[in-house]
Amino acid sequence: MRVWGANDRVNVAIVGIGGRGTNHLNIYSRLSGAKVAGLCDVNQAARERAQATLLKNTGEKATEYEDMKQVFADKNVDAVSIATPNHWHALASIWAMKAGKDVYCEKPASYNIYEGIQMLKVARDTKKMLQIGSQHRSTPFKIKAMEALHGGLIGKIYQSKGLCFKRRASIGRKPDTPTPPGVNWDMFLGPAPMRPFNELRFRYNWHWFWDTGNGDIGNQGVHQMGVARWGLGDPEWPKAAYSHGGKFAYDDDQETPNTQFCSFDFGGRELTFEVRGLLTGGEGMVFRPRRRGEAPTETAPAGNKAAPLNIMVGNLFYGTEGWAAMNDEGFQAFKGEGSELVLELKAERGPGGDATSLHMENFLKAVKSRNVKDCTDEIATAQLSAGLCHLANISYRTGHKLNINVGANGPTFAGDAEANKMLTRPLYRKPYTL
């Protein structure tokens, strides 16, 4: 096993160089503890763009790969940073760890519940670091806020709520076409069923098809789901889950819902979650009730030092003594019948304030220390946050409440064959099998 020096750089290969993968490239390029040693994508044009970006950032080029297995076989690569579509997260991470690589993998941890559990098992068997890209766990003001909540700032938390009110336009409809030159479509689909190439199933919009994505609850929403679990003290699997909603307003090719409500029963407390991709207002604003005969007002309650956050994408926490709101701009906690502001934290700005950079630095620290506890969102926690998203989608797709039994291999649903089938894929397309 390699012994790392304080100034050694970790040779990182980036697998998947679309929008998020380009962000990985730009961040690793400027981190002193890393060197971008490899660039892997099934799209030749993406590899070429990434090489140009890397050359501009560092004056150096990296080895290019079309097939991720070539990355994992390269002894010059210490770690991989995976930014593929969701349906590749588990297989890529497992192959990498079995080949001796540490892994930073984008959220959600997995495409389904079975995959998340397998990722955890392989991480433990191989003793490799597996950090999931839920950067809120490395964000200083959010860490401080959670310490305050867990310390009883608003009493005992009985409900934690996540909101994903992220505006999403209709994707429309497009016909199947021949695969563009330079794209390995078979490898892009990987474990998913083979289908003709369609532009809507490629760049980003793969999120909205069940073969490859999990809807916005498993896209943007898994961040807020993880924060909601964090607020409750990171409980494991719930006793029951229920979700309903639909794809409203649009007539297009999207399969996943754009409006979804979910509830998870943790026994004496609950976690709720909402997705709204259509036009909507936010939540979290609180105003003093008007007394009889009083003119309407939009001022904050007396004693408050700031207007409450209006949450569109973020979290709300409800305790026996008050409530709190959090988004990427800051955190506010209110207490008592008059909702008095008792704590306000603001997001850091400038050097050191980028959450993803901090999260990747945290990953590099764990790679060198070989201590899994150094990871702020390691697979053991992250697969549970993703698992709640998957439970919600299973309930939504079956149309009924799930009563959950938890065993050594994770959750199952007694007497519910339809839901149990959705714990994994019906079939993994060879040779892309777990």
Which are the contacts of 284, defined by CB distance < 8 A and separation ≥ 6?
A: 308, 309, 310, 311, 314, 316, 325
Q: What is the mean pLDDT of the chain?
A: 93
Percentage of the chain with pLDDT > 90? 88
pLDDT reported for residue 140: 95
Q: What is the pLDDT of residues 186-230, one digit of tens each?
A: 999 999 999 999 999 999 999 999 999 999 999 999 999 999 999
Rounded average pLDDT over 73-78: 96
Query: Average pLDDT of 330-347?
Result: 92
Q: Which of 63-77, 157-171, 303-317 has the lowest mean pLDDT?
A: 303-317
pLDDT for position 164: 97
How many other CB atoms are there within 10 angstroms of residue 249's CB atom? 12
What mean pLDDT do residues 6-14 have?
A: 90
108-122, 154-168, 295-309, 395-409: least confidently modelled range: 295-309
What does the pLDDT read at residue 417? 97
pTM here? 0.93
Domain ranges within the chain, ordered by starting residue: 10-137+351-378, 140-346
Distance CA 127, CA 375 (A): 13
- Predicted pLDDT of residue 4: 67
Over residues 235-262, mean pLDDT: 98
Which residues, at least 6 apart from 29, have a Cβ–Cβ distance to it below 8 Å?
A: 36, 53, 54, 57, 58
| 406 contact partners, CB below 8 Å, separation of at least 6 | 236, 237, 412
Alpha helices in 151-287 (DSSP H): 185-189, 221-231
> Which of 56-70, 203-217, 229-243, 293-307 is predicted with the least confidence, judged by mean pLDDT?
293-307
Q: Tell me, which fold does domain 10-137+351-378 have in CATH?
A: Rossmann fold (3.40.50)
Cβ pair 17, 25 in contact under 8 A:
yes
- Measure the CA angle with vertex 407, ends 381 and 228; round to 5°: 30
118-171 pLDDT, tens digit per residue, is 999 999 999 999 999 999 999 999 999 999 999 999 999 999 999 999 999 999
pLDDT 10s digits, 372-401:
999 999 999 999 999 999 999 999 999 999
pLDDT at 290 over 50: no
Say what the pLDDT of residue 6 is.
67
- Is residue 11 within 8 A of residue 74, CB to CB? The reply is no
3-class secondary-structure state, position 53: helix
What homologous superfamily does CATH list for 140-346?
Dihydrodipicolinate Reductase; domain 2 (3.30.360.10)
H helical segments located in 17-112: 19-30, 44-58, 68-73, 89-98
Report the Cα 200 to chain-centroid distance in Å.
22
Same fold, 10-137+351-378 and 140-346: no
Q: Residue 408's pLDDT is what? A: 87
